[in-house]
């Protein structure tokens, strides 16, 4: 591979021209140029393949930012993670020169760091050898490239400011402030190429840079025996792990690999001090030595299989060691480390439950919808399944998880393990955890008039009422998450009358919703930003479809809609929404990005519920 000098001045023009990297976005072609002077690191040789081209987008009308790499597709996320705050247009609608927006999260995608201190009004941005200093209310900034300092001037209308976000706290418990920066000025000061996409009212910025230390991540290897995403998604079964360590040829090596992965899982670089883990959604190789040196900090969460997935994996490892002690001789120190991390995570479960009995998406720190009690992606149902297994010897319909945690229940009863004793983990504390969580689930089942329906994706952490998540996830009833709750409820031994009524009510309700006569059609269109679209088109189909979301009333008034416009004949209606957060009875108007990138329709919700009910009744002997 050809080497080139790591000169930031050369990076802007010469390197880009050398590799022919003319980058197109917004339907036009722009050379990615940088306004950098020579850096002290000029003498370092780097690979041309290390050149990264990143695009950032800030829309006018959505509470989002967009990112893409090289020629990929735009990936949206909130401007400020967890919050639904938008850019502000100080010079009027559609005028890009007046766009102000929080850029901390967007700039992190180009390895830039925004350090904004509301108390002093000072803002410092560091990126690729540059330091940009600004101040609240001041119309000038200073740019230092390591050798010289230049003063830059901005329009007085777009000077930086801090905005207090109602009801939100910072990590230290004080008022949460979002720092609004002049988007065009800031991006250009850091060497970005900036254009305004008039068609979608979005500021788009291109940056070219070599990977810095901050951009280096652990090795991604989907072929590894153990990855973070494999653990998060529950890919590692007890039987599969057991077969590996008992293999007559590779058993010893497989045992060592399993323990290396488990030790890396509880490494302080990965497991947070609070006992939880952040999510990765990535196949980071748990067997690669770079993992514990390069894995970055992420706030503890139950989202996307995190934390409860880690606990399940660790429990299987410890179970194997206790059932097959001869195979783990010589690994006592590693096992002690793994078990210590396991109990630390169980304590996290106890700490994370809020006073209503629910589990938030993030704990202990989260802003916006991260604080909500979250059933989305089966977060709380999966946590409850773990708590059940920690407190019950068997499940009514499935004892797999209970079997994996049998060793833990025995240690909880014995109270001889110093780790769990020190943490105050007792059978009583876990039973209280379960009882409180179950009460929340039963109370949270949505009632509309005289009809008991299903469950919402998110609930307010204080009131316990249905609330929204991301901008397109409005307060609603969700069949997908309701099915996950149903699986928890039907697994409870000796179900109470309240549990029985809850199960039967949901199964009855889901039979009454859904619609036929329509189908989802994918339209390929290279002129569209995402090169395709999805439309819900009437075609006389007899296949029953269900909405991802159902309204919280029967009139549409909750969302400002009229029930006469709905497509279903049921009293309960499907709702759709894009990233603008506006509810609609149809999938086909606006929201094209979400139509392509999200599944707003489901199949089999009624038959799935009936199957679970039949399984439950059989287990009950009814």
Neighbours of 530 (CB within 10 A): 14
Same domain membership, residue 281 and residue 192: no
**What is the radius of gyration, based on Cα positions, of the chain?**
27
Asked whether the beta carbons of 141 and 134 are under 8 A apart, the reply is: yes
Q: Of all helices (H) and strands (E), which one includes residue 113? A: strand 113-117
3-class DSSP state of 194: strand
DSSP secondary structure code for residue 301 in this structure: B
Q: Of all helices (H) and strands (E), which one includes residue 583? A: strand 583-584
Q: Of all helices (H) and strands (E), which one includes residue 151? A: strand 149-153
**Tokens 């067997």 map to which residue?**
287
Instruction: Specify the pLDDT at position 593.
Output: 80
270-318: per-residue pLDDT in tens?
999 999 999 999 999 999 999 999 998 899 999 999 999 999 999 999 9
What is the β-pairing status of strands 113-117 and 447-448? unpaired
Instruction: Specify the pLDDT at position 49.
Output: 55
Does residue 302 fall inside a structural domain? yes
Least-confidence region, from 80-89, 119-128, 522-531: 522-531
Same domain membership, residue 305 and residue 267: yes
Asked whether the beta carbons of 541 and 517 are under 8 A apart, the reply is: yes
Band (pLDDT 50/70/90 cuts) for residue 620 is very high
What is d(CA 38, CA 27) in angstroms, rounded to the nearest whole number?
32
441-475: per-residue pLDDT in tens?
999 999 999 999 999 999 999 999 999 999 899 99
Q: Which string of b and e fits 482-519 if b means at least 16 CB within 10 Å? A: bbbbbbbbbbbeebeeebeebbebbbebbeebbbeebe
Same domain membership, residue 268 and residue 207: no
Instruction: Specify the pLDDT at position 47.
Output: 52
Asked whether the beta carbons of 10 and 4 are under 8 A apart, the reply is: yes
93-102: per-residue pLDDT in tens?
999 999 999 9
Same domain membership, residue 454 and residue 393: no
Instruction: Specify the pLDDT at position 205.
Output: 95
Same domain membership, residue 102 and residue 157: yes
Q: Domain boundary at 412, 444, 476, which?
A: 444
Does residue 303 fall inside a structural domain? yes
Does residue 26 fall inside a structural domain? no
What is d(CA 397, CA 488) in angstroms, rounded to the nearest whole number?
10
Q: Domain boundary at 404, 423, 444, which?
A: 444
Q: Is the pLDDT of residue 17 over 50?
A: no
Q: Is the pLDDT of residue 403 over 60?
A: yes
Phi and psi for 118 in degrees, rounded to 5? -65, -35
Q: What is the CATH number of the domain that holds 529?
A: 1.50.10.20
Average pLDDT over residues 95-121: 95
Q: What percent of the chain has pLDDT over 70?
A: 90
Does residue 88 fall inside a structural domain? yes
Q: Is the pLDDT of residue 242 over 60?
A: yes
Inter-CA distances, 548 with 5, 458, 598, Å = 52, 14, 10
Q: Is the pLDDT of residue 22 over 70?
A: no
Per the rule left: phi > 0, alpha: psi between -120 and 50, beta: everything else, 436 is alpha
Does residue 480 fall inside a structural domain? yes
Same domain membership, residue 169 and residue 234: no
422-437: per-residue pLDDT in tens?
999 999 999 999 999 9
What is d(CA 390, CA 407) in angstroms, rounded to the nearest whole number?
9
3-class DSSP state of 591: coil
Q: Which residues pair with 179 in a beta bridge?
A: 162
Instruction: Specify the pLDDT at position 247.
Output: 96
Does residue 9 fall inside a structural domain? no
Does residue 378 fall inside a structural domain? yes
Instruction: Specify the pLDDT at position 13.
Output: 30
Extract the runs of DSSP E, i.e. beta strands, from 136-263: 140-144, 149-153, 161-169, 175-182, 193-197, 202-210
Band (pLDDT 50/70/90 cuts) for residue 528 is low
Instruction: Specify the pLDDT at position 523.
Output: 82
Task: Provide the number of structural domains found in the chain.
Answer: 3
**Averaged pLDDT score across all residues of the chain:** 89
Sequence-distant (6+) residues with CB within 8 A of 88 are 99, 100, 101, 180
Does residue 328 fall inside a structural domain? yes
Average pLDDT over residues 576-588: 89
Q: Which of 210, 212, 211, 318 is nearest to 258 (CA)?
A: 318
What is d(CA 594, CA 91) in angstroms, rounded to the nearest whole number?
29
**Tokens 């299989």 map to which residue?**
305
Instruction: Specify the pLDDT at position 27.
Output: 38
Asked whether the beta carbons of 321 and 328 are under 8 A apart, the reply is: yes
Instruction: Specify the pLDDT at position 31.
Output: 36
220-240: per-residue pLDDT in tens?
999 999 999 999 999 999 999
User: What is the distance, to the nearest Å, from the Cα of residue 24 to the centroid of all Cα atoms in its chain?
Assistant: 29
Same domain membership, residue 458 and residue 436: no
Sequence-distant (6+) residues with CB within 8 A of 385 are 308, 401, 487, 488, 491
Instruction: Identify the domain containing residue 453 by its residue range.
Output: 445-622
Q: Of all helices (H) and strands (E), which one includes residue 68? A: strand 64-69
367-397: per-residue pLDDT in tens?
999 999 999 999 999 999 999 999 999 999 9
Asked whether the beta carbons of 573 and 566 are under 8 A apart, the reply is: yes
Asked whether the beta carbons of 489 and 495 are under 8 A apart, the reply is: yes
**Tokens 């029953």 map to which residue?**
544
Same domain membership, residue 586 and residue 522: yes
DSSP secondary structure code for residue 329 in this structure: T
Instruction: Specify the pLDDT at position 488.
Output: 98
Sequence-distant (6+) residues with CB within 8 A of 233 are 305, 309
Same domain membership, residue 238 and residue 207: no
Band (pLDDT 50/70/90 cuts) for residue 487 is very high
63-84: per-residue pLDDT in tens?
999 998 877 788 889 999 999 9
Instruction: Specify the pLDDT at position 221.
Output: 95
Instruction: Specify the pLDDT at position 568.
Output: 84
- Transcribe 232-288 into DSSP letters: HTT---HHHHHHHHT-TTTHHHHHHHHHHHHHHHTSTTTS-TTS------S-BBTTS
Average pLDDT over residues 36-44: 38
Global confidence as pTM: 0.88
Torsional sign, CA 87, 91, 93, 95: negative
Same domain membership, residue 262 and residue 182: no
Same domain membership, residue 142 and residue 65: yes
Tokens of 183: 């988007």
Least-confidence region, from 155-169, 440-454, 513-527, 564-578: 513-527
Same domain membership, residue 406 and residue 289: yes
Sequence-distant (6+) residues with CB within 8 A of 442 are 498, 499, 502
Q: Is the pLDDT of residue 20 over 50?
A: no
């Amino acid at each position: 591979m050809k080497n080139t000098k790591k000169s930031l001045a050369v990076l802007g023009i010469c390197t880009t021209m050398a590799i022919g990297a003319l980058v197109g976005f917004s339907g036009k072609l722009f050379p990615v140029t940088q306004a950098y002077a020579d850096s002290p690191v000029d003498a370092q040789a780097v690979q041309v393949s290390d050149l990264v081209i990143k695009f950032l987008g800030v829309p006018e009308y959505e509470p989002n930012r967009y990112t893409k790499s090289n020629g990929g597709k735009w990936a949206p996320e909130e401007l400020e993670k967890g919050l639904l705050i938008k850019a502000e247009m100080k010079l009027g609608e559609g005028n890009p020169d007046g766009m102000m927006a929080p850029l901390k999260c967007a700039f992190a995608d180009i390895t830039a760091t925004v350090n904004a201190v509301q108390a002093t009004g000072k803002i410092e941005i560091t990126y690729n050898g540059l330091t940009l200093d600004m101040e609240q209310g001041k119309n000038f900034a200073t740019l230092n490239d390591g050798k010289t300092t230049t003063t830059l001037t901005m329009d007085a209308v777009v000077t930086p400011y801090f905005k207090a976000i109602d009801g939100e706290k910072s990590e230290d418990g004080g008022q949460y402030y979002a720092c609004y920066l002049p988007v065009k000025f800031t991006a250009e000061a850091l060497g970005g190429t900036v254009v305004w996409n008039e068609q979608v009212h979005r500021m788009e910025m291109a940056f070219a840079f070599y990977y810095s230390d901050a951009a280096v991540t652990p090795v991604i290897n989907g072929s590894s025996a153990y990855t973070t995403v494999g653990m998060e998604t529950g890919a590692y079964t007890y039987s599969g792990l057991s077969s590996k360590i008992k293999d007559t040829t590779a058993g010893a090596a497989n045992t060592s690999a399993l323990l290396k992965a488990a030790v890396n899982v509880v490494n302080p670089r990965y497991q947070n001090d609070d006992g939880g883990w952040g999510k990765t959604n990535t196949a980071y190789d748990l067997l690669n030595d770079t993992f514990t040196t390069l894995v970055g900090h992420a706030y503890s969460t139950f989202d996307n299989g995190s934390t409860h997935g880690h606990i399940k994996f660790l429990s299987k490892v410890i179970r194997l060691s206790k059932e097959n002690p001869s195979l783990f001789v010589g690994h006592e120190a590693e096992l002690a480390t793994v078990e210590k991390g396991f109990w630390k995570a169980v304590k996290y479960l106890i700490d994370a439950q809020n006073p209503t009995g629910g589990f938030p998406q993030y704990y202990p720190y989260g802003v916006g919808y991260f604080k909500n009690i979250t059933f989305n992606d089966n977060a709380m149902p999966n946590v409850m399944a773990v708590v059940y297994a920690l407190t019950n010897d068997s499940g009514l319909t499935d004892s797999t998880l209970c079997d994996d945690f049998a060793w833990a229940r025995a240690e909880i009863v014995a109270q001889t393990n110093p780790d769990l004793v020190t943490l105050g983990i007792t059978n009583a504390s876990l039973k209280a955890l379960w009882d409180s969580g179950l009460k929340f689930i039963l109370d949270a089942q949505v009632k509309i008039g005289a009809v008991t329906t299903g469950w919402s994706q998110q609930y307010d952490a204080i009131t316990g009422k249905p609330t929204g998540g991301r901008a397109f996830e409005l307060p609603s009833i969700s069949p997908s998450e309701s099915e996950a709750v149903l699986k928890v409820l039907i697994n409870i031994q000796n179900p109470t009358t309240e549990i029985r009524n809850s199960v039967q009510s949901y199964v009855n309700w889901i039979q009454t919703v859904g619609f036929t006569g329509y189908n989802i059609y994918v339209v390929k269109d290279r002129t569209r930003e995402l090169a395709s679209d999805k439309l819900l088109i009437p075609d006389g189909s007899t296949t029953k479809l269900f909405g991802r979301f159902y309204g919280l009333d029967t009139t549409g008034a909750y969302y400002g809609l009229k029930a006469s416009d709905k497509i279903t004949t049921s009293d309960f209606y499907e709702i759709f929404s894009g990233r603008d957060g506006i509810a609609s009875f149809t999938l086909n108007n606006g929201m094209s990005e979400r139509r392509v990138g999200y599944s707003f329709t489901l199949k089999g919700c009624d038959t799935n519920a009936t199957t679970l009910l039949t399984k439950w009744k059989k287990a009950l002997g009814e």
